[in-house]
């Protein structure tokens, strides 16, 4: 049998601030299979962002293991971790973090331009991705000339630029009105279905969470099945 796509094993993570210790992740174990679309809910402060940051290697756990396609991620050297993060992970955050001085198409292209990909095909792909998220007409708009929902769709297109294996979305609809938020979730479902991108989506909206095929909850420092 082949190794699971992503396997998180007994991850612990605490923060230390002003001599106080906050135990956030207290033995998180979860397996995610290739192609899954998973929602992650949980109270504010329960550790959802911390969990996504650890999985995306933006932050290190205290203890625990993580295997991506059987390879132990926390045992990789710095270069290997950076490559894993850049090649395999796409992030969408609650704030879009688009660069204000660049157009939508340039923002989408940015990860590939930074990776020194050939600019011409890169810009072509950026425009195709904008078309996929329904923004072909807004390619030359700068972030200040886009609505909140449009900006978040640009951020999603940017996250897809380098064809990630795993998309990690941290409340991508947190700043949007419910119907625009549902549009982003529909888009995530479409991207998951059509491009086969595995995705974990943190949301505070239980209704939107329910629209995902698998639902997880962060509770008391552990990841549990949200339906239990
Ligand atoms: N850098 C930090 N230093 C100290 N404590 C932190 C730090 N980052 C997060 N925390 C604390 O860790 C806990 C988990 O934070 P986290 O951001 O993971 O929660 P969350 O589930 O994403 O919450 P929300 O739904 O509000 O985004 C919180 O109690 C928070 O105050
Ligand atoms: Mg959070």
Map out the domains of the chain with their CATH numbers: 6-99+163-225 (3.40.50.300)
> Is the per-residue pLDDT at 196 higher than 80?
yes
Task: Pick the ligand that lies closest to the CA of residue 53.
Answer: 1
- Count other Cβ atoms within 10 Å, centred on residue 224: 14
Average of per-residue pLDDT across 195-204:
93
Based on its alpha-carbon atoms, the radius of gyration of the chain, rounded to whole angstroms, reads 18
Residue nearest to atom 24 of ligand 1 (CA): 44
Q: Which of 22-26, 61-65, 105-109, 186-190 has the lowest mean pLDDT?
A: 186-190
- Sort 104 into a burial class: Cβ within 10 Å, 0-12 / 13-18 / 19+: buried
- Ligand 1 within 6 A of 24 CB? yes
Cβ neighbours for 72, distance < 8 A, ≥ 6 positions apart: 65, 66
Average of per-residue pLDDT across 27-34:
97
> Is the per-residue pLDDT at 111 higher than 90?
yes
pLDDT of 1:
64
**Cα angle, residue 43 at apex, residues 40 and 44 outer, rounded to 5°:** 105
pLDDT of 161:
94
Instruction: Grade residue 76 by pLDDT with cuts at 50, 70 and 90.
Output: very high
pLDDT of 101:
97
- Ligand 1 within 6 A of 49 CB? yes
Distance (angstroms) between ligand 1 centre and the Cα of 50 equals: 6
Q: How many residues does the chain have?
A: 228
Residue nearest to atom 2 of ligand 1 (CA): 15
pLDDT of 215:
96
In the chain, what percentage of residues exceed pLDDT 70?
100
Average of per-residue pLDDT across 180-207:
90
> Is the per-residue pLDDT at 197 higher than 90?
yes
Task: Pick the ligand that lies closest to the CA of residue 47.
Answer: 1
pLDDT of 227:
85
> Is the per-residue pLDDT at 190 higher than 80?
yes
Phi, psi (rounded to 5 degrees) for 174 = -60, -30
C-alpha–C-alpha distance, residues 217 and 221, integer Å: 10
Query: Torsion over CA of 17, 20, 25 and 26, rounded to 10 degrees?
Result: 160
Ligand 1 atom closest to 204 (CA): 25
Average of per-residue pLDDT across 174-182:
83
C-alpha–C-alpha distance, residues 152 and 186, integer Å: 13
- Sort 3 into a burial class: Cβ within 10 Å, 0-12 / 13-18 / 19+: exposed
Cβ neighbours for 111, distance < 8 A, ≥ 6 positions apart: 86, 158, 161, 162
Average of per-residue pLDDT across 130-154:
94
pLDDT of 71:
96
Q: Which residue has the tokens 């990789």?
A: 76
Instruction: Grade residue 94 by pLDDT with cuts at 50, 70 and 90.
Output: confident
> Is the per-residue pLDDT at 30 higher than 70?
yes
Distance (angstroms) between ligand 2 centre and the Cα of 22 equals: 15
pLDDT of 155:
95
Mean per-residue pLDDT over the chain, rounded: 94
């Amino acid at each position: 049998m082949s190794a699971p796509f992503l396997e998180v094993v007994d991850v612990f993570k605490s923060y230390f601030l002003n001599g106080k210790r906050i135990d956030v992740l207290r033995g998180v174990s979860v397996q995610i299979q290739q192609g899954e679309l998973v929602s992650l809910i949980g109270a504010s402060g329960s550790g959802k962002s911390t969990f996504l940051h650890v999985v995306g290697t933006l932050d290190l756990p205290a203890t625990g293991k993580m295997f991506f396609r059987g390879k132990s991620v926390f045992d990789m050297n710095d270069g290997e971790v950076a490559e894993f993060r850049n090649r395999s992970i796409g992030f969408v955050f609650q704030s879009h973090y688009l660069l204000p001085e660049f157009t939508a198409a340039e923002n989408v292209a940015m990860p590939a331009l930074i990776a020194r990909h050939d600019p011409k095909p890169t810009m072509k792909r950026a425009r195709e991705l904008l078309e996929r998220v329904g923004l072909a007409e807004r390619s030359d708009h700068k972030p200040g000339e886009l609505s909140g929902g449009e900006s978040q769709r640009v951020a999603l297109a940017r996250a897809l630029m380098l064809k990630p294996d795993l998309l990690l979305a941290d409340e991508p609809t947190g700043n949007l009105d419910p119907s625009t938020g549902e549009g982003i979730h529909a888009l995530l479902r479409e991207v998951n279905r059509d491009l086969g991108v595995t995705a974990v989506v943190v949301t505070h909206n239980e209704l939107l969470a329910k629209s995902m095929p698998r639902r997880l909850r962060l509770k008391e420092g552990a990841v549990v099945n949200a339906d239990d």
